[in-house]
Amino acid sequence: MRFSDMEKSRVGIIGVGREGRAVWRQLRRRFPQKPLSLFSETAIGEAFAQQLDPAVDIFHPGPLEVAKLKHFDVLIRSAGVSIYRDELRALRSLGVQFTTASSLWFAENPTAKTICITGTLGKSTTAKLTAHLLNHAGVRANLAGNIGRPMLDCDDEEADWWVIELSSYQISDLEAKPDIAVLLNLSEEHLDWHRGFENYRADKMRLAELAAGGRVIANFSDRVLNQGLRGRPGVTWFNMVGDWQAGWDFVYRKYQTENPRGLGHDQVSAPASLPGAHNMHNLAAALTVVAALGLEVSDLCGALSTFSGLPHRLQLVGVRSGVRYIDDSISTTPVSVAAALQAMGPTGVVLLLGGMDRGLDWSEFAQGIVGREPYAIITMPDNGPRIAASLAAAGARSAGGIHGAGDLRQAVSMAEKLVPACGFILLSPGAPSFPHFRDYEDRGEQFKTFSGF
């Protein structure tokens, strides 16, 4: 479906976040006088509300209701609205058509060359790193999707390749044919949205199906991906002997040469902007994309030295009296918290974690840190008690104790009293920011403010 197909349709936009607003801008540009209905279960903000024209823009706050939505010909779903919701299922059964911002972009740009990247952990860093390396390899690569600008806001840009980060929310009903699909890893995440891990797994793996006729790049060391894609033609693996593989703080590959000894060897050390072993998996994936396109970065170490990491991903926000304050607010899963602790090491770390309770099981995380616990742990609402219970059940013990805080401000205050000399205060929540913050960026900025920077 393209925008032109909606010229005479009754159109509603469900969800008015970044994607929903981008859809509204496109529709309003194409059809200035077309009546549009916008539905949002959360506040939309005064700045955007002032852009709406009451004569043609009808805003519906509050819960989604089938009775109100069934009269539309087309509903454009924002990524945060689950396709598994009973209301959306009922509307589909009534014949209402659905599309999304991502599907519309692909329909409007059928000749665009696309590299679509997904995974439970690392997709934002890998997408940014891939675009960075492709530009250093001499091609124009633009970054869009979950990271960077919304795809529909990029219609004024040109690129040889589009590097697009896609979440499972976007892939679940995506209509697209990526040239390259990159799958990094799969572990439990967003189980509330997907109504369970099997749906989450299927929605993530769907990206490989969409790339049929193109190329799939995947992580050989990830058990779920290995099992799901093994034997599938057209898969290029990283973390497999002979291809780019992740070490502790470097990546390397071995390959056949004309030398009588038969093997050549490349090794690249991690730049300061990519701390931790988990980032070496991201770098191996990005380098595999570059190689798959038949490209080469002539000065790879130089290119990596100019790469800047993501805001709110293990970002140093300040140092006071020798204590370093680290913002990892983008962390929304137990797996990402474990990766942050692995990158930093547990010594002298006061860990702040907790947020929206999606019912995730924290027992594996808790068992994994036993014997190498951070100096102290402070949990926050809403899932703080669940996390604390998992830590207790696993027998986790921190020298500085395991504590509960009522909010982020109190957690920072407690951490500053607990942190040892020259230690770290690490915000790595392992959970979404809602409903206490606007988004993970807001949470990170408030952490910075509460820390006095």
pLDDT tens sequence across 233-249 = 889 999 998 789 999 88
- DSSP symbols for 318-382: EEETTEEEEE-TT--SHHHHHHHHHHH-STTEEEEE--S------HHHHHHHTTS--SEEEE-TT
The residue assigned the tokens 């679509």 is: 116
What is the residue extent of each domain of the chain?
A: 3-104, 109-305, 315-450
Phi/psi of residue 188, each to 5°?
A: -60, 130
316 sits in which H/E element: strand 315-320
- DSSP symbols for 67-121: HHHTT-SEEEE-TTS-TTSHHHHHHHHTT-EEEEHHHHHHHH-TT--EEEEE-SS
Among residues 79, 89, 65, which one has the least CA distance to residue 193? 79
The pLDDT value recorded for residue 265 is: 58
* SS3 state of residue 295: coil
pLDDT reading at 316 higher than 50: yes
The pLDDT value recorded for residue 38 is: 97
Fold for the domain defined by 3-104: Rossmann fold (3.40.50)
User: How far is residue 437 from each of residues 229, 347, 359, measured CA to CA in Å?
Assistant: 38, 29, 19
Cα separation, 10 vs 1, in Å, equals 14
pLDDT reading at 353 higher than 90: yes
The pLDDT value recorded for residue 260 is: 41
pLDDT reading at 411 higher than 50: yes
The pLDDT value recorded for residue 56 is: 96
Q: Do 109-305 and 315-450 fold alike per CATH?
A: no
Vertex 98: Cα angle to 229 and 359 (nearest 5): 60
What is the mean predicted confidence (pLDDT) over 130-157?
A: 88
β 74-77/57-61 pair status: unpaired
The pLDDT value recorded for residue 273 is: 86
Name the pLDDT band for 148 (thresholds 50, 70, 90). low
Q: Which two tokens stand for residue 228?
A: 């799901």
61 sits in which H/E element: strand 57-61
Cα separation, 139 vs 130, in Å, equals 11
* SS3 state of residue 257: coil
Name the pLDDT band for 226 (thresholds 50, 70, 90). very high
Among residues 339, 274, 291, which one has the least CA distance to residue 125? 274
Name the pLDDT band for 211 (thresholds 50, 70, 90). very high
Computed over every residue of the chain, the mean pLDDT equals 92
pLDDT reading at 68 higher than 60: yes
Cα separation, 175 vs 196, in Å, equals 23
Cα separation, 408 vs 431, in Å, equals 13
DSSP state of 123: H
- Dihedral (C-alpha) 7, 13, 82, 441: value to the nearest 10 degrees? 130
What is the mean predicted confidence (pLDDT) over 80-107?
A: 96
Among residues 328, 305, 306, 321, which one has the least CA distance to residue 443? 328
Cα separation, 1 vs 417, in Å, equals 57
The pLDDT value recorded for residue 344 is: 86
Do residues 240 and 219 lie in contact, with contact meaning Cβ atoms separated by under 8 Å?
no
Do residues 432 and 355 lie in contact, with contact meaning Cβ atoms separated by under 8 Å?
yes
What is the mean predicted confidence (pLDDT) over 212-219?
A: 91
pTM for this prediction = 0.86
Q: Which two tokens stand for residue 14?
A: 């469900």
Taking 3-state DSSP, the helix, strand and coil percentages for the chain, each rounded to the nearest 5, stand at 35, 20, 45
The pLDDT value recorded for residue 271 is: 85
Phi/psi of residue 102, each to 5°?
A: -65, -45
The pLDDT value recorded for residue 104 is: 97
Cα separation, 453 vs 336, in Å, equals 25
145 sits in which H/E element: strand 141-145
Name the pLDDT band for 111 (thresholds 50, 70, 90). very high
Which CATH number applies to 315-450: 3.50.50.60, 3.90.190.20, 3.30.360.10, 2.60.120.10?
Answer: 3.90.190.20
Per-residue b or e along 4-31, where b marks 16 or more CB atoms closer than 10 Å to that residue's CB: eebeeeebbbbbbbbbbbbbbebbbeeb
pLDDT in tens, 252-307: 987 644 444 444 458 888 888 888 888 999 999 999 999 999 999 999 999 999 99
The pLDDT value recorded for residue 138 is: 95
The pLDDT value recorded for residue 261 is: 41
Do residues 336 and 428 lie in contact, with contact meaning Cβ atoms separated by under 8 Å?
yes
Ramachandran bin of 345, using left for φ above 0, alpha for ψ from -120 to 50, beta for the remaining angles: left
- 146 versus 316: the higher-pLDDT residue is 316
Q: Please tell me the least confidently modeled range out of 319-323, 368-372, 401-405, 431-435.
A: 431-435
CATH of domain 109-305: 3.40.1190.10
Which residues, other chains included, contact 206 with Cβ-Cβ below 8 Å and sequence gap of 6+?
Answer: 171, 172, 174
Do residues 174 and 105 lie in contact, with contact meaning Cβ atoms separated by under 8 Å?
no
